[in-house]
Each structure stands twice: as C-alpha cells, then as structure tokens.
Amino acid sequence: MVAILRVLRRLRARTIGKVLAATLLGASTGACLADPAAYGHRPYHFDFGNGSVEPGHLGVRAEDAYTPDKHYGFNTPENMANVAASGTGVGGDAVRFLQFGTKSTNTFNVDLKPGLYEVSVTLGNTTRASVAAEGVFQVMNMTGNNAKDAFEIPVTDGQLNLLVTEGKAGAAFTLSALDIRMVSPKPELGPTIWVGGDSTVANYYPLATSVQGGWGQMLPDYVSPDAFKVRNIATGGQIARGFRDGGQLETIVKYGKSGDLFLLEMGINDTNPKNATTEVEFKEIMRDMVRQVAATGATPVLVTPQGRATDFNAEGVHSSVNRWYRHATLALAEEEHVPFVDLNVLASAYFTQIGPEATLALYMSGDTLHPNRAGAAELARLVAADLERQQLLPAR
C-alpha cells in the first residue's frame, strides 16, 4: 500500500510539472498553445516583436512562421521585420509588414473554430495604417503610435488571416498586440450600421479622447448596442469613386445583410476641382453603391454633409443647401426610393438656433469645415434622431 501511494505521488508531481511547463511555454516567445485541442475557444493574447513578452501573452517574433501544430504564426515571415515601438508593455515593440494590401498573403494567421470573434488591435509606431482581415478592410486609418481599436469578424473557414496595411503611402504598417475572443459560436455578425464618408464622418484616435471627431465615430453613443453595432469605414479626404473602387465598399458588400443599414455621406471632396468629378458623375457613382449594397439585403441611407461654420447670412440664418452636390444626393434618394437624412438642413437648423459663435465652437480651431469632438457628437445626435423619426432606429 505504501509503495502504491509513492507511485501516485510521483505521477501527480509529473502531471503538475507538465501543466506548469506547458503554461510557461504558452507565455513564451514563439510557443505553441498549452492545449492545442482547445484552440479557438480560449482567448488569445499576442505580444509582437523581439522584446520581452508581457505576462499572459504569447510572444510572436517576425520570424515565427505559422505551423499547424502551433496554430498561429506568419504566413510569409520573410516579409516581416521586428521593430521598436515607443509604448510600454505590449506597446514597447512591434512587427512591421513589409508587404501589404488587402489581398496580400503576408498575413498573421490564427486557427480558430467557426464563430464570431472580437479582435482588438494595438499598433506600433505609425502615422496612419488600416487593418485588413479575410481579404477586406476591417478598421480604417488608425493614427498615432500605439493606436487601439477593435472589430467583430465571422470566421467560417477555420482560420483568421490578418495584416496591417495602407492608411497613407510611406507610413510604417506595424502591429504590437492582438487580442482575440469568441463572441458567439455562430459565425454571423449581428445587426450592423455601416458608415461611409469623409473626414467629417471618420474616426479619430484615441477614440475615446480625440480632439477632432467625425459623426460616424460618435454615432454609437446615440444607438442602442442591443439594436445595432456601428462599423465606421469612413476616411478623410475620400470621394465617392475612391470609396467604391478603393476597397471600402467591398467590406460592406461582403458582410452586409438584411436588417443592416448603410449610411453613405459624400460630396465635400467630390466638389473639389482637383478630384475632377462632375455632379452627374458623382450621382451615378453613388447610385452604383446604393444598388450594390441594396443587393445584399441591407438598407442604404443617403446622408448630406453639414455646411461650414460660417454659412450664416446677415439675418443670422445658417444655410448651405447649395453645397457639396446636395441636390444630386436628394434626387438620387428619390429615384432609388431609399431613405434620406438631410444632415445639411438639420445641422443648419441647429446652428441657426444656437447662433454663429456657438456654432464656431463646434468646429476645430481655425477650421470652419471639420467638427471637433463636441460638434461631431451633435451631428451624430441629429443623424440618430432622424433615423428614429423614420423608424430605421428604435427609440432609445
């Protein structure tokens, strides 16, 4: 009996040792998962670069290739580089993507069970970079060192393929950390409001504290999360043709479905002579996008841009109805029988109510076109209220 107890103690000690070793291995650079059979169910926390690995994270160097037994790694590590980063913790180092593009095979691959996942991204040092996965954009134009954002994505083929890619020509496309957790075993996005537009709509970073804001960035504050998630695909300087042909519309077409909304606001940059887009051309490009999105089952909603802070007449009335190809957008909504949010007129009514001085305070200093965070919040409020009026959003 004594001999049997000694054997059992030895077996327990060996088992504990193996579990401890596996746990330590799972937190070390280039390690495989402690329990490969559980891949895709446990949360993943990746720390990229060749510096020290933060506790609770899997370290990934640029040279770490994907292998089936490890369940993660770079598809073409020869196109990656370890680089420094100016942050702390996981933000203290990063990897740089030397080849990029939404269709590039130079991806970081993670084996995942089919399901819906939340992916949280922390960049390294970069001026502007976007995140792509599954061959389409997921997050647009993250700016500033160690910028953070998150998105949900359905995985149906057993693997997530992600990379950091173009936000601005010549920028460094870097990745410091990645966190992945399963939201649902069903690989389907819930009801989503997709937002397309320009710099008056886009996200600015850090998302929670940026001085400048876009109304698409602030819209989630006016939408019940139980009703819709908001995905803002807008980018600064964008024109209708660029949004359609540059890959942003592709994201909505890939994931859009019945019950979704697609809010599309263009015109400010299209009217700039350097972009060589006539009002007739603008209208037909917008029509094409409306029809492509409608074919997915989602509901396109056309939105007009607000005017400049200085669009007041001598009587103190704000009006900008002749700006930004507004008339073409209004006509298109009527022709295609799609909902229309005339933010141009709604914003003017609000600006007239509060007056020129208070209106100017809602824009960036020395800038009469781009709203600051407070101004973007007011515009988002107006958009949401009109969507509620049209019963496209449930009342909060």
**C-alpha dist (Å) from residue 249 to 27, 99, 155, 189, 240:** 39, 23, 20, 17, 10
| Complete edge-to-edge strand list for the sheet that includes strand 340-341 | 229-232, 192-196, 261-265, 299-303, 340-341
Contacts of 11 (CB under 8 A, 6+ apart): none
Residues in Cβ contact with 365 at an 8 Å cutoff, skipping those fewer than 6 apart? 372
279-294 vs 326-336: helix crossing angle, rounded to 10: 40
Catalytic residue list contains 199 = yes
Residue 179, amino acid: D
DSSP 363: B
C-alpha–C-alpha distance, residues 234 and 237, integer Å: 9
Choice among 176, 199, 320, 348 that is catalytic: 199
DSSP letters along 78-136, please? Answer: GGEEEEE-SSSGGGGEEEEESS--TT-S--EEEE--SEEEEEEEE--S-SEEEEEETTE
Question: Encoding tokens for residue 396?
Answer: 């909060």
Catalytic residue among 35, 157, 245, 367: 367
Rounded Cα distance between 234 and 268, Å, is 13
Residue 47 annotated among the catalytic residues of the structure: no
Q: Which of 118, 119, 113 is nearest to 131 (CA)?
A: 119
Instruction: Name the catalytic one among 111, 318, 370, 386.
Output: 370
The residues, any chain, with a CB within 8 Å of residue 46's CB and separated by 6 or more, are 57, 58, 59, 60, 72, 177, 178, 179, 180
Three-class DSSP category at 199 = coil
Active centre residues (catalytic)? 199, 367, 370
